[in-house]
Structure 1
Amino acid sequence: MFGSIYTGLTGMMAFSQGLDVISNNVANLNTPGYKGNDLLFQDIFYRYGLSSDSNANYPSSEIGNGVTGDRTLMREAQGEIRETGNQNDVAIDGNGLFILRDGEDIYYTRAGQFEIDDDGYLVDRVNQARVAGFEDGELVDINVSELGNNRPRATTEIILTNNLSINGVEHEIPEVEVFDALGGSHLIDLKFINDGDLWRVEITDDAENMIASDGEIRFRTDGSPEEGFNRFSFQLAPDDVPATEILLNFGEAGSFTGATSFAAGETSDLVVESQDGYARGALIRMGFDRDGTLTVEYSNGKDNESTQLALAWFDDMQALRQIGGGLFLAGEELEPMIDTPMQGVMGEIVEGSLELSNVELTLEFTDLIIMQRGFQGSSQILTVSNEMIQQLLDIGRGGR
């Protein structure tokens, strides 16, 4: 009878702990990367009894002494991935944990809420620990300071394609955009004049100043560029800007993949296929590919790739310790598997998104009812035990 009081008390304490776990789950319903927990109920030691006719190996009675709830189990299921529109938010679809480093301390998280700090490092928005990447097989802190703008590149080569008709008199390609050494944009006109067995080249700028007039291009009888006459260089030297040498490239000698010279009436369709210069570009977008590669896009249309995100995974996720802020700690005895997204067991990256909590409200409310009824039942045992003890005391008083 007295033992039932302590047994009922263990039930009340365990169900109270269960209520604590449920309340924490519900409170973190909207916490990115949060993993819900379940309280594990376990029966505790037993008292065994033997009767005179029972076998010593098989006790006649087994009376338990209550329940304990001193251990929780983390729910490892993935939460819903929801788009946020923030280019620095990152989610993992599948296995993996982001690696955060703060000096000698290493943390792991599923909550990819990142931002750029004043030193250009990609950091966790909550505790400012640096996000780790993979570079040449080593973990590094991801830094984007050198990706803030795209340096200009002077035009050094203009590649031409299509045909200069041998029956034509002249052909002009107007307003070809080129860039100087500082990234400044200039428009030049290319004029090709048929001079019998060769084409003379004249180049003027947008102010009609002659830049070059001594160019000479020749073609073989089969219409392909002639060796030694398939390229022509000139200098672009705007005011107060270092001069840049630009090569007009008509294609490989003897090849028909670049410029050609066939009979096509008096009409030529020679055009600029490409030029390799560009202006300075400002960073307009940063994000991560599915494989975790950091990519940036610039206002000049160029892009760049940098470090890959590093992910970690553990054989026993239950051995990780939750410390708040969406962070996990691993003991020294735990050795993580480290790799890049979409490699090995690792999942893929979803940019501009976050993984939500894996808490299911319906399940929590169901468990809440069970905890409430369990607590009520355990408290009722204490009430009944107390009444029975009181009856015993009343019998004792009556006997005196």
Structure 2
Amino acid sequence: MSCSCFGSSRVQKKPTSPHRELEGYSLDNIRKFSYKDLRIATYNFDRSTKIGRGGFGVVYKDGSQVAVKALCAESKQGDREFLTEINTISNVRHQNLVELIGCCIEGTHRILVYEFLENNSLDHALLGKKSHTIELDWKRRSKICIGTARGLAYLHEELEPHIVHRDIKASNILLGEGFIPKIGDFGLAKLFPDSITHISTKLAGTTGYLAPEYVLGGQLTLKADVYSFGVLILEIVSGRSSSISSWGTTQKVLLERAWELYEEGKLLELVDPDLKTYPEEEVLKYIKVAFFCTQATANRRPMMSQVVDMLSRNIRLNEKELTPPGFFQESNDNKKVSEASTSRQISSYPTTITQVTPR
């Protein structure tokens, strides 16, 4: 399948009748589109408008107001069960989550229609070709970190049932007007619980985001998202990809290099050279919050509501509780989880990390 974006007024305003097999099934806050209408509006899913691809589908853009994403995954759910899940997700409203507008279910087609965000993805703005990227000063980067943290806190702690995203990364953070960050694909893991693995793209592309307990044991909890968010902070601060890259004469993942600089007392060397001016103390705090989020032991990581407080309030972090982060490594013939040092503390998350003291 394919997907696209469209802004045709005839598609947006034309009422669409329910699919024959779903007559009588109502959706509260979401429209049902026919596959024919979506195909026409997207110029038959023309390849020239493709802007991205993820683990759940392909995204195209034709300069319009909504985005159409055709899901590549096969669901084991029936149509009504699938629509029930979509209905649940469509009722989720938060300024830091991408809004789901409609869907199409015809035959094997599973297509979702989202709001379109004009500033593309964080991945494009932060890691794309410099000639095409948007300038991200520290004020904007800080705003993106805090907004994304709030969106995750909402998914993890305010929604019932809670949602684990499973694929927090720069390409799934979209930037709206005023560079307000919005988390995309937040409900897709819920829609495909039986058919999507925890690695949504080739491993080399997402290695740096994966929590150690997730890679080795498949333990999917809220803390796996927290880990990925910690890595995302490091990307936002450094302007570098989370995956293995060159640091001088060595190859390291971003988290590994960041911890080395922390131990050497040279954390500011991690900061993106494109950031000409920035508040040093605040940037250092953000990096340290990233370390709390990426602790090797999952139960030592904070909840996302605690992360929001750490980032947004004028507080002092208790670095004495900070232990080496864990990260995933790939050698020639095997895969393993490493830590930044040989020590590992197995204990519950210390309350002293989040019971912070105002300055």
User: Normalised by the size of structure 2, how large is the TM-score?
Assistant: 0.19
Q: Whose helix fraction is larger, Structure 1's or Structure 2's?
A: 2
User: Normalised by the size of structure 1, how large is the TM-score?
Assistant: 0.18
Who wins on radius of gyration, i.e. which is larger? 1
